[in-house]
Amino acid sequence: SQKNTNGYTIKKLLCVPLKVQGRVTGVVQVIDKVSGEDFNRDDQKLLEAMADAAAVAIENVRLFEAERKKTELLRQALDELHRTYRATVQALTGLLDARDEARAARCPRGLVHLEVEAAAREVGAQEVAGADLLSGGHGTVVDALLADHLLQELHGLAELL
C-alpha cells in the first residue's frame, strides 16, 4: 500500500505502456479494482488493448496537428510569395517606365543605367545588363532573373500543396 498525493491509499496498481511503432510515448495505469481483487492477466490484456487504441489515437492527433502547422506555414509562405510577386511586378513596371521615359527624353545613357541598376537591385537582381535593358530587347537579364526565381518559388509551393 502506498498513499498518492491526494491522500488515497493505493492497494493494487496495474500499469501498461502507450506504444506507437515500438516507442513508448506514455503510460496508462489503473488502481484498485472496485471488487478489491488483484489484477489478473485478463485485466492486463484488456488494459493493453485499450492502451494500444489510445496510443494510436493520440499519435493521430499529434500527426494531424503537425500537418496543420505545416499547412499554415505553407499558406504564410504563399501569401509572402504573392506579396513579393506583386512588388516585383510593380518594380519591373517602374523599370520599363524608366527605360521608356529615358528613350523619350533621350537622356544620357549613363544616368538611366544607374537608375535602372538601382531599381533592379531593389527587386533582387545582382547584375544588370544595361545595354539589354536600354535596348528594348525582350528577355532582359532582370526579366529572366525575376521570372526564373518566381517560377521556382511557385512550382515549389505548388508541389508542397
- The answer to whether 88 and 52 are in contact (CB under 8 A) is no
The pLDDT of residue 123: 55
Report which secondary-structure segment, H or E, holds 117: helix 109-122
Q: Is the pLDDT of residue 158 over 50?
A: yes
Confidence at 126, pLDDT banded by 50, 70, 90: very low
Identify which of 100, 136, 99 has the alpha carbon closest to the alpha carbon of residue 114. Answer: 99
Nearby residues of 12 by Cβ (< 8 Å), 6 or more positions away: 31, 32, 33, 37, 38, 39
Q: Does pTM surpass 0.85?
A: no
Identify which of 31, 33, 22, 28 has the alpha carbon closest to the alpha carbon of residue 51. Answer: 28
**For the chain, how many helices (H) and strands (E)?**
4, 4
User: Residue 64 and residue 56: Cα distance in Å, rounded?
Assistant: 12
Coil, strand or helix at 136: coil
Residue type, 51: A
The pLDDT of residue 101: 75
**Residue range 132-158: average pLDDT?**
54
The pLDDT of residue 64: 96
Confidence at 100, pLDDT banded by 50, 70, 90: confident
Q: Is the pLDDT of residue 127 over 90?
A: no
- The answer to whether 60 and 52 are in contact (CB under 8 A) is no
Confidence at 95, pLDDT banded by 50, 70, 90: confident
**Residue range 10-20: average pLDDT?**
93
The pLDDT of residue 129: 44
Task: Give the percent of the chain with pLDDT over 90.
Answer: 40
Coil, strand or helix at 9: strand
Nearby residues of 147 by Cβ (< 8 Å), 6 or more positions away: none
User: Residue 12 and residue 33: Cα distance in Å, rounded?
Assistant: 7
The pLDDT of residue 120: 59
**Residue range 68-75: average pLDDT?**
94
Q: Is the pLDDT of residue 96 over 80?
A: no
Task: Give the percent of the chain with pLDDT over 70.
Answer: 60
